[in-house]
Chains A and B, each alone.
Chain A
Amino acid sequence: EPEVTQTPSHQVTQMGQEVILRCVPISNHLYFYWYRQILGQKVEFLVSFYNNEISEKSEIFDDQFSVERPDGSNFTLKIRSTKLEDSAMYFCASRARTRLTDTQYFGPGTRLTVL
């Protein structure tokens, strides 16, 4: 069964550095999402992406964040200048473009640690 994949599984960075988290959604999916989960807290929505543009974003997704689909397979989340509070597990998800299924399929996550 196809799965969403994410790389790296764990990223350690210094405060102020830029990081790029990568996701490969399921191949025939057209809706893409990023969520994050700070340790011990809820999973929080960051952004959704469809047809090469952002469809929704939360207040967390400020100017320090950006998303891109640089080619036909990857979906990336960039944090320009990381802060300590950006330390979290970041999940990518994707969904098929069909009315027959509503499921958002999640990747295994990237644990980001900002020192």
Chain B
Amino acid sequence: GENVEQHPSTLSVQEGDSAVIKCTYSDSASNYFPWYKQELGKRPQLIIDIRSNVGEKKDQRIAVTLNKTAKHFSLHITETQPEDSAVYFCAASRNAGNMLTFGGGTRLMVKP
């Protein structure tokens, strides 16, 4: 089955700096890659996703890149703000409606 590895497990940045979180996946048939943000005590919320027919997607300060050949994808957050502090999870699935396989999560701390 699919295995998703996520790095780093914790990331501390200064406000205004960029943050990059990386994930690798094992199943070459995976074609949908969402990123979820989970604030303390709250539900995971989708922040951005990408399908395998696209190499990059951007939404304001957030971008995701995908390298299908290398089977890795990354989340980029620019101009980080304290409210970006949360746990971020990457995930992969074969099709959008199918089960999600999650990475282990990255705790991002943005210091003011």
Contacts and interface: CB of A to CB of B under 8 A. Distances in A.
Partners in one complex: yes
Interface string A34-48: 010000011111001
Nearest to A103: B46
Given A43-B89, A44-B102, 8 more contacts: A41-B104, A42-B102, A42-B105, A43-B102, A58-B99, A95-B97, A103-B34, A105-B46
Interface string B84-112: 00000101000011111111110000000
Interface stretch (B11-19, B37-45, B58-66, B67-75): B37-45
Interface stretch (A11-19, A70-78, A79-87, A106-114): A106-114
A104 interface: yes
Contact of A42 (B32, B96, B98, B104): B104
Interface residues of A, number: 23
Interface in B12-35: 32, 34
Contacts of B43: 3-4, 91, 106-109
Give the most central of A4, A41, A45, A104: most B CB within 10 Å. A104
Nearest 4 CB-CB pairings of A with B = A102-B96, A45-B99, A43-B102, A108-B43
Nearest to A46: B99
A45 B105 CA distance: 15
Interface in A40-76: 41-45, 48, 56, 58
Contacts of A31: 97
A74 B42 CA distance: 21
Given A102-B96, A103-B49, A45 B101 contact: yes
